[in-house]
Structure 1
Amino acid sequence: MIHTLAISGYRSIRHLTLPLERLTVITGRNGTGKSSFYRALRLLAEVAQGRVISSLAAEGGLQSTLWAGPEQISREMRDGTREIQGTMRKNRVSLKLGFASEDYGYAIDLGLPVISSGSMFSLDPEIKAEAVWAGEVLSRRNVFAQRSGPAVTALDLAGRRQTVVTNLPPYESMMTHAADPRELAELLVLRERMRGWRFYDHFRTDVEAPARMSRVGTRTPVLSADGADLAAALQTIVEIGDREALNRAIDDAFPKATVRIVDTGGKLELLMSQHGLLRSLHAAELSDGTLRYLLLLAALLTPRPPGLMVLNEPETSLHPDLLGPLARLIANASAKCQIVVVTHARALVEELQAAGALTYELAKSCGETAIEDLKPVSWAWPSR
């Protein structure tokens, strides 16, 4: 489980380090930085996939994602007695992301590239530093793998620090190019753990949504990000997961309704029977809210829970009456995996708080995303 998440220099987040629990809710008004928080967490996961540079490019490049305000915000700027303006920089421009779990921690520092006349990719950000450590806070005593520039050093079996890579390109992470099952097994374990994180963000429910189409199905313990394999995922829960929990969750949201999966010429199709109707409804006929709830159901009742699941605005297109069942579904799922919910639905927040969720409400101060009364958390970034 992730105990601490740290973000620095990303969009509206100048510096933010906060503890997480088994179930954590991030809320706030529009424009306070909820999307920035979600994207930063997803960007951190992209490191383990080797896609952090391309993901930043998709957002407009590093320059478009960096904190755009002044390096330091004085008390006078905050109370309005002095105009907000930049000053001479003391630190390097960087985007930093990191987390600490119950056993390992990881952090990455991305910076501006050194201008190269021989490449057409001179706008790509560079990975300046990385570190993997044991424990909650990075220190010289507990770091067992560290990258500074092109060099990666690590502790050998005798506890001596050795250089294991000397020419790692600035666009490659040590998470994907220095993990060795013999010498850096911890790095490999952490990488695979991060690769298992799941993100669900605004399932499509339009007429041509993938979840509305019947298709050939295979055992699907993990619902895809686009929900195309919804029928297969639900049938997998029936066969190797918790069928009773699935039935209870459907009845909780849609009293006296049932869902079944049928084989139509080699393709799986979802059918839903509702009280008072004389025939079952196909997935193509379901309302947007009903389909979205079934997608969330398949994601949260997965027979193969991840280490971390992140839901971004799961309340979208749901009727208020479904927020209670959704909150109960999320709370029950958090017993098997860590869940972070990003939402602006006050009713959902209140239901999750009643279930014991740790809640943070984001606010804006001088353009900076902040959390009121957040207690300082010990954290250290790797040095370049």
Structure 2
Amino acid sequence: MLKKVEISGLRHFAEYAVPVEGLLVFYGKNGAGKSSIAVAFEMLSAIAGRSLGDWTGVFGNCGALFHFGSECTKEIVLCVQRGRESYRAVLVRDPKDAERLILSREQLVVQDQKDDTQLEKIEVGTGERESIFGVPVEPELRDVYPIMREMDRWWIGHLVPSAMRKPETNDTGRQLYPTGRNLEACVLRFAAGIPEAFSSVEAAVAQVEPEFVRFVIVDEGGHKRLMWESTARAMLIPYQYFSEGTLRLLAYAVLFSSPDLPEAIVIDDIETALDDDHIEVLMRIVRDAGKRTNIVLTTRSEKVAVCAGAAVREI
């Protein structure tokens, strides 16, 4: 299991350690550094998936990633501890391209029953050569890379209402995408074969939507569509007609009710577009899911902090 993430030289933090065990909620005002914690997880996941260049392109202003700027801080160091493995990445700004990060060094340490086996540090130029840590090239090598596979699978969400309202066709719904664009496919998967999860999702929506009766699956031209039955209207209503808050609650209920949770789920500003009723329902779901996996949330909401109880940490 994931144990700890250490951050050095990233945005707000000269040095900071995030102990990861079950549910952890960071609560504070704007500018306290909460989002920097989510950024650290995003960067590690991007490194593991060999998509760091794409990630920094979306983030923009590479220099803003460094603590007090790249003139003051020369490198960002991110470390992950997981079971008997630990991973360390050192990132610097490309001297030839100010908007490009270079993964200058990475180190994987694997601990066996007798002693520590430290693998060689490999110099890596992002986009030029892949590391054997992230991409094993020899099939006979020992399987010492699960830490990288798990980092690549971390769920770090930025739900997008427009994406959630546009159904993703031909998707298995195996796991909710971070934008939520395959939300309908995930609910359809629950309805078809995971009744306990489907019931949990219906129950969550029913607690915040007084008119909601149940979900109904409709076949339209060979494609299944997610609708819901209302106490106030005779017609079935498409799920896209939910408010943004209820749509987000639905997506989070799908994510946390899944039987196949990733090793880490990280959500920045979990309270976005949610009122107090949504938050109460969501945090009950989150606390239950925290017994099965690691969840890191950031929030400015006092309501979220109260509902998180002992799991909250002020920052």
Q: TM-score, normalised by structure 2?
A: 0.86
Contact 1:43–1:55 at 8 Å: present in 2 too?
A: yes
Report what 1:144 is aligned to. Answer: 118
Q: What secondary structure is seen at the aligned counterpart in 2 of 1:125?
A: strand
CA contact (8 A) 1:130 1:174 kept: no
Question: Match for 1:229 among 175, 178, 182?
Answer: 182
The answer for unaligned runs of 5 or more in structure 2 is none
Question: Residue 306 of structure 2 aligns with which residue?
Answer: 350
Task: Please tell me the residue identity of whatever aligns with 1:281.
Answer: I
Question: Contact (CA 8 Å) 2:28, 2:34: kept in 1 or not?
Answer: yes
- Summarize deviations over 1:29-80 as a string: whole Å, max 9, x none: 0111112211111111111110123323433354331111799xxxxxxxxx
Among residues 273, 277, 290, which one is paired with 2:246 in the alignment? 290
Alignment partner of 1:197 is 2:154: yes
SS in 2 for 1:342: strand
Aligned match for 2:314, one of 361, 369, 375: 361
Counterpart-to-counterpart distance in 2, 1:263 and 1:232: 13
For residues 257 and 21 of structure 1, what CA distance do their matches in structure 2 show? Answer: 37
Q: How do 1:266-277 residues align onto structure 2 when only pairs under 5 Å count?
A: 266-277=222-233
Classify 1:318/1:123 alpha carbon distance in 2 versus 1 (closer, same or farther; 3 Å): closer
Question: Which of 278-287 and 301-310 deviates more?
Answer: 278-287
Q: Distance in 2 between matches of 1:97 and 1:171?
A: 20
- Distance in 1 (CA, whole Å) between partners of 2:148 and 2:70 is 34
- Matches of residues 1-384 of structure 1 in structure 2 within 5 Å? 1-60=1-60, 62-68=62-68, 93-113=74-94, 124-134=100-110, 142-149=116-123, 172-178=130-136, 180-187=138-145, 189-201=146-158, 203-205=159-161, 209-214=162-167, 216-241=169-194, 242=196, 243-254=198-209, 257-353=213-309, 356-357=310-311, 359-362=312-315
Residues 25 and 349, structure 1, Cα contact 8 Å, conserved in 2: yes
Q: What is the alpha-carbon distance in structure 2 between the residues aligned to residue 258 and residue 43 of structure 1?
A: 39
d(CA) in 2 for partners of 1:275, 1:211: 24
Cα separation, 2, equivalents of 1:235 and 1:70: 47
Number of residue pairs matched by the alignment = 309
Task: Identify if the C-alpha distance between structure 1 residues 263 and 337 changes in structure 2 by more than 3 Å, giving closer, same or farther.
Answer: farther
167-176 or 212-221: which moved more?
167-176
Distance in 2, Cα, partners of 1:49 & 1:168: 12
Cα gap change, 1:264 to 1:70, in 2 (>3 Å): closer
Q: Secondary structure, in 3 states, of the residue corresponding to 1:146?
A: coil
**Deviations 1:79-113, CA, capped at 9 Å, x for gaps:** xxxxxxx7xxxxx8211111102232111011244
Alignment CA distance shift 1:44-1:274 (3 Å): same
Q: How many percent identity over aligned positions? A: 21
- Quote how far apart the aligned CAs of 1:217 are: 4.4
> Which structure 1 segments of 5+ residues have no match?
72-85, 87-91, 116-120, 136-140, 151-166, 363-384
Task: Describe the shift of the 1:112–1:284 C-alpha distance in structure 2 as closer, same or farther (beyond 3 A).
Answer: closer
Higher gyration radius (CA): 1
TM-score by length of 1: 0.72
Quote how far apart the aligned CAs of 1:316 are.
1.1
For residues 230 and 154 of structure 2, the distance between their equivalents in structure 1, rounded to whole angstroms, comes to 34
Letter aligned with residue 45 of structure 1:
S
Letter in 2 for 1:183: L
- Please give the alpha-carbon distance, in whole angstroms, between the structure 2 residues aligned to 1:198 and 1:179: 26
d(CA) in 2 for partners of 1:263, 1:226: 25
Q: Output the CA distance in 2 between the equivalents of 1:212 and 1:317.
A: 15
Judge conservation of contact 1:6–1:16 (CA < 8 Å) in 2: yes
Distance 1:278 1:311, change over 3 A: same
Aligned CA distance change for structure 1 residues 124 and 69 (closer, same or farther; 3 Å) = closer
Over the aligned positions, Cα root-mean-square deviation in angstroms equals 2.8
What is the Cα deviation at residue 274 of structure 1? 3.4
Partner Cα distance (1:230, 1:70) in 2: 39
